[in-house]
Amino acid sequence: SQTIHQWPATLVQPVGSPLSLECTVEGTSNPNLYWYRQAAGRGLQLLFYSVGIGQISSEVPQNLSASRPQDRQFILSSKKLLLSDSGFYLCAWTRDTLNTEAFFGQGTRLTVV
Amino acid sequence: AQSVSQHNHHVILSEAASLELGCNYSYGGTVNLFWYVQYPGQHLQLLLKYFSGDPLVKGIKGFEAEFIKSKFSFNLRKPSVQWSDTAEYFCAVKSATGFQKLVFGTGTRLLVSP
> In chain A, pLDDT over 90 holds for what percent of residues?
78
What are the chain B neighbours of A107 within 8 Å (beta carbons)? 43
Q: Encode pLDDT of B34-86 as tens digits.
A: 999 999 888 899 999 999 999 999 999 999 999 999 999 999 999 999 999 99
Q: Provide CB contacts within 8 A for B6, sequence distance 6+.
A: A43, B21, B22, B23, B89, B90, B91, B105, B106, B107, B108
Q: Encode pLDDT of A48-62 as tens digits.
A: 999 999 999 998 878
- The phi, psi pair for B26, rounded to 5°, reads -125, 110
- Chain B: give the shortest CA distance to residue A99, in Å: 6
Length of chain A: 113
Please answer whether residues A38 and A44 qualify as being in contact, where contact means their C-beta atoms are separated by less than 8 angstroms.
Answer: yes
Report the residue of chain B nearest A51, measured CA to CA.
B99
Q: Provide CB contacts within 8 A for B70, sequence distance 6+.
A: none
Q: Provide CB contacts within 8 A for B29, sequence distance 6+.
A: B95, B96, B97
pLDDT-derived band of residue A24, with 50, 70 and 90 as boundaries?
very high
Rounded to an integer, the average pLDDT of A77-102 is 91
Nearest-by-Cβ selection for A43 from B99, B101, B104: B104
Q: What is the pLDDT of residue A39?
A: 80
Please answer whether residues B14 and B112 qualify as being in contact, where contact means their C-beta atoms are separated by less than 8 angstroms.
Answer: yes
pLDDT of B98 higher than 80? no
What are the chain A neighbours of B105 within 8 Å (beta carbons)? 43
> In chain B, pLDDT over 70 holds for what percent of residues?
97
pLDDT of A44 higher than 80? yes
Length of chain B: 114
